[in-house]
Amino acid sequence: MKVMVLGYDGYIGFPLTQHLLKRGHEVFGVDNGSRRQRVKDLESNSLTPIADFYLRKSRLASNKNWLGATSVNIGIANPVYLKHILQKIKPDAIVHLAEQPSAPWSMKSPFNASITQQENVLGTLHLLWAMKDECPEAHLVKLGTMGEYGTPECDIPEGIVPEKCLAGIDYKLSNTQSGTEEVKCPLSGLLFPRSPGSFYHLSKVHDTHNIHFACNNWGLRSTDIMQGVVFGLNECKNELDLTRFDYDECFGTAINRFCAQALADIPLTVYGSGNQTRGFLPLKDSIQCLTIALEKPPELGEYRTLNQFESIYSINDLADMVAKSCELTVSIQHLDNPRKEAEKHYYNPDHDKLFKMGYKPTTDIEGEIIKLLCALRPYKDLIKKHVIMPRINWR
Amino acid sequence: MKVMVLGYDGYIGFPLTQHLLKRGHEVFGVDNGSRRQRVKDLESNSLTPIADFYLRKSRLASNKNWLGATSVNIGIANPVYLKHILQKIKPDAIVHLAEQPSAPWSMKSPFNASITQQENVLGTLHLLWAMKDECPEAHLVKLGTMGEYGTPECDIPEGIVPEKCLAGIDYKLSNTQSGTEEVKCPLSGLLFPRSPGSFYHLSKVHDTHNIHFACNNWGLRSTDIMQGVVFGLNECKNELDLTRFDYDECFGTAINRFCAQALADIPLTVYGSGNQTRGFLPLKDSIQCLTIALEKPPELGEYRTLNQFESIYSINDLADMVAKSCELTVSIQHLDNPRKEAEKHYYNPDHDKLFKMGYKPTTDIEGEIIKLLCALRPYKDLIKKHVIMPRINWR
């Protein structure tokens, strides 16, 4: 299969690209290097010593299935640029990971919010138009987030309101006029209402609506991935094939940040009570799931949502697991929550579809955390402690 | 009250500004004249001979309550520009009508789609940030559209999923475990799922999500107006005080286009079967409703949705009314629908709130159509017939 990976230089994009090449797919990459620059702007670094942008590209080029790469910010560039690329490559599938991925970064200033929504929403919009014009049968695998749903007081389905009740209880609709009974939810078939919690999460919700429309209106096909929080590293023999590892307040996600804190021998910082519950998955499971979605495309015209995570955990559970996995004694410190979010809430999102499609979690989460701590230990003296504490407040 | 009107030079903005000044409110205007330019780009014109942009501004300046105006495209400008304006004016309320308002225009090309979402979504986003920083207690009255909801197979509430069932039938939730009964919808309190039908409509849905978040997260207050299709003219003694009247395929809405066709003695063009049903209201009712919303603001932190229309009509009903109201004999022609939309559908949107707040429809719709045809007759020889037929296809 000929696959275009937007964001091939990123945390998920790079190991996904390697994995797809290994599986015999041809890959063309798009990346403008903005993640590297933005982490540098925060005075942070990737804890893993990743290869320089050009060195990495030349290493990929040693694989015969690598079709080359281009550097463009698709949300800011003229839409025609992307159209020309698709015209040339004619991909069978496009994996779109090239979005600004940080909620705190998007809440830092009006500029950051504006750039986030411009890059993400217009980027996907430009991609949809270019696909319609140049490869209307290609499959768009688009990275969204479980954070689109927020934490409503009912079960969360995979994307669309189902026919069955969402409150986790049986119910009947009784039509008193005709005496007949229905069990269909009146909203079934509509997009499940989203309750995102930052301008980043909002940008993903806007994408969802634009993609859903493009599938219904133009007959494009897409898998919209509502992904949980990813953590961990890829496995490789050569250090140059390691993916980046961010642990700063913006681009470092919970488990990754906790591991960096544990290795730097500073307290693990939990925001608020720590009862916030989210879906998590190791990086290699994310790669596995994205590959499954790619290799089992939906029908033409179909808009398919997959909730992609291994299991749900509370932040406190994760901090405890990291603390226990350490040889050192680390403490856990609760900070005032810089985010506005429910700290105790119902959370029961469905995630059956990927399991039914063949997703097999490769290991238990505690085992993954131990492996991650081991893999990072050689770099622990490089950790910049001052970039971890939250300074962006979005209340 | 000190009101900032964004889009004060537009179809609704200009008569609203005049009305607010007459009611003793102070008004500061923002407009970059893009509507005038875009209608000109289509080789069309406002059928009413509106005053030049600067002449109109100087006429407004003769009112002691006019605080002046500035020209800026808020979605494209540096967000700081808007912050500086709000810092200077410190408005009590902001009416935001400064968005690209045409669905067909947004579907013309990737550029048009991109400009629409950039101007609309980022414009509102910049405004929200500037309000948070400079006037967090001001009331944002934001123009959305009934088209955000699409045509779902259930009743449409005003913005939020209500506790009661939406299928128009009574229902019970029976918890079989505890034996208790509930009548609350499991999704109640969440944003009612939107099903917009163009990149323009999508931009309004994106706005809705961004505003909803800003109210919940920052405690801003907003009235989000889901407006039906507006038609007609304002009443005034001096021709220079008339608002613009567009009848082209992009900026001319159904009734206005039909009236122009009737006066030009060409067939009224109905898209598809004509059974599409929408909410409509005359321009003066729109002014009345916006004024009611402004003068009865919601509480701080409240996100309030008002469905703003007088009544629902099918396109066939309206074509028939226009045809009957004419002294001439006009025919009705059904065209292949250039839009992808349900042509026969359930449609029962709630619109009680504005009526409860005091909205009194000023006349019947047939009377309004007759008045409109009379008001336009002096200009009928100026109609450019070739701009009316739809050329933009979004299937």
- Residues of chain B positioned with their CB less than 8 A from the CB of A111: 79
Shortest distance between the Cα of A261 and any Cα of chain B, in A, equals: 29
**Predicted pLDDT at B371:** 94
Q: How far is CA A46 from CA A245, B56, B356, in A?
A: 5, 57, 58
Which of B122, B192, B194 lies closest to A114 in CB terms?
A: B122
CB contact under 8 A, B171 and A171: yes
Shortest distance between the Cα of B108 and any Cα of chain A, in A, equals: 11
**Predicted pLDDT at A368:** 94
CA gap A304, B348 in Å, rounded: 29
Supply A40's token pair.
């540098």
Q: Which residue of A has its CA nearest to B169?
A: A175
3 state SS for chain B? CEEEEECCCCCCHHHHHHHHHHCCCEEEEECCCHHHHHHHHCCCCCCCCCCCHHHHHHHHCCCCCEEEEECCCCCCCCHHHHHHHHHHHCCCEEEECCCCCCHHHHCCCHHHHHHHHHHHHHHHHHHHHHHHHHCCCCEEEEEEEHHHCCCCCCCECCCECCCCCCCCCCCEEECCCCCCEECCCCCCCCECCCCCCCHHHHHHHHHHHHHHHHHHHHCCEEEEEEECEEECCCCCCCHHHCCCCCCCCCCCCHHHHHHHHHHCCCCEEEECCCCCEEEEEEHHHHHHHHHHHHHCCCCCCCEEEEEECCEEEEHHHHHHHHHHHCCCCCCEEEECCCCCCCCCCCCCECCHHHHHCCCCCCCCHHHHHHHHHHHHHHHHHHCCHHHCCCCCCCC
Residues B225-235: tens digit of each pLDDT:
999 999 999 99
Q: Please compute the mean of the pLDDT values over residues A199-219 and round it to a whole number.
A: 98
Residues B45-59: tens digit of each pLDDT:
999 999 999 999 999
pLDDT classification of B298: cutoffs 50, 70, 90: very high
Domain with CATH 3.40.50.720 in chain B: 2-156+192-387
CB contact under 8 A, B110 and A167: no
**Predicted pLDDT at A120:** 98
What is the interface size between A and B, counted as CB pairs within 8 Å?
161
Shortest distance between the Cα of A385 and any Cα of chain B, in A, equals: 29
* pLDDT top residue among A60 and B177: A60
- Mark whether A164 is an active-site residue: no
Residues A16-60: tens digit of each pLDDT:
999 999 999 999 999 999 999 999 999 999 999 999 999 999 999
Supply A333's token pair.
């410190």
CB contact under 8 A, A202 and B196: no
Give the mean pLDDT of chain B.
94
CATH architecture of A2-155+192-245+279-310+346-362: 3-Layer(aba) Sandwich (3.40)
B64: how many CB neighbours lie within 10 A of its CB? 8
Contact B215, B128 (CB under 8 A): no
* pLDDT top residue among B171 and A227: A227
Residue type, B261: Q
Which of B118, B195, B217 lies closest to A122 in CB terms?
A: B118
CB contact under 8 A, B190 and A186: no
**Predicted pLDDT at B184:** 72
**Predicted pLDDT at A164:** 77
**Site of tokens 């349900």:** B342
Mutate to test the interface with A, among B160, B185, B192, B395 (most CBs of A within 10 A): B185
Domain with CATH 3.40.50.720 in chain A: 2-155+192-245+279-310+346-362
Q: Indicate if the pLDDT at residue B164 is higher than 90.
A: no
DSSP state of A160: B
Give the domain B2-156+192-387 fold: Rossmann fold (3.40.50)
Rg from Cα positions in chain A: 21
**Predicted pLDDT at B182:** 54
Which of A154, A173, A190 lies closest to B152 in CB terms?
A: A190
Residues A262-310: tens digit of each pLDDT:
999 999 999 999 999 999 999 999 999 999 999 999 999 999 999 999 9
Q: Indicate if the pLDDT at residue A184 is higher than 80.
A: no
Q: Indicate if the pLDDT at residue B37 is higher than 50.
A: yes
- Of B282, B272, B146, the residue nearest B201 (C-alpha): B146
Cα B42–B47–B53 angle (5° rounding)?
80
- Mark whether B346 is an active-site residue: no
**Site of tokens 């609309």:** B120
Shortest distance between the Cα of A193 and any Cα of chain B, in A, equals: 5
Q: Which residue of A has its CA nearest to B118?
A: A118
**Predicted pLDDT at A72:** 95
Shortest distance between the Cα of B221 and any Cα of chain A, in A, equals: 15
Separation of CA A296 from chain center:
19
Task: Sort A52 into a burial class: Cβ within 10 Å, 0-12 / 13-18 / 19+.
Answer: exposed
CB contact under 8 A, A186 and B217: no
Q: Indicate if the pLDDT at residue A326 is higher than 90.
A: no
Among candidate residues B145, B208, B253, B305, the one labeled active-site is B145
pLDDT classification of B155: cutoffs 50, 70, 90: very high
Contact B207, B121 (CB under 8 A): yes
pLDDT classification of B175: cutoffs 50, 70, 90: very low
CB contact under 8 A, A187 and B152: yes
**Predicted pLDDT at A177:** 53
Q: Please compute the mean of the pLDDT values over residues B138-145 and round it to a whole number.
A: 98
Residues A97-147: tens digit of each pLDDT:
999 999 999 999 999 999 999 999 999 999 999 999 999 999 999 999 999
**Predicted pLDDT at A44:** 97
Which of A111, A169, A216 lies closest to B175 in CB terms?
A: A169
CB contact under 8 A, A217 and B170: no
Shortest distance between the Cα of B82 and any Cα of chain A, in A, equals: 11
Among candidate residues A200, A303, A347, A359, the one labeled active-site is A200
Which of A79, A173, A187 lies closest to B187 in CB terms?
A: A187
Which of A129, A169, A187 lies closest to B154 in CB terms?
A: A187
Q: Please compute the mean of the pLDDT values over residues A240-263 and round it to a whole number.
A: 97
Among candidate residues A116, A145, A223, A277, the one labeled active-site is A145
Q: Indicate if the pLDDT at residue B312 is higher than 70.
A: yes
CB contact under 8 A, A161 and B205: no
- Mark whether B360 is an active-site residue: no
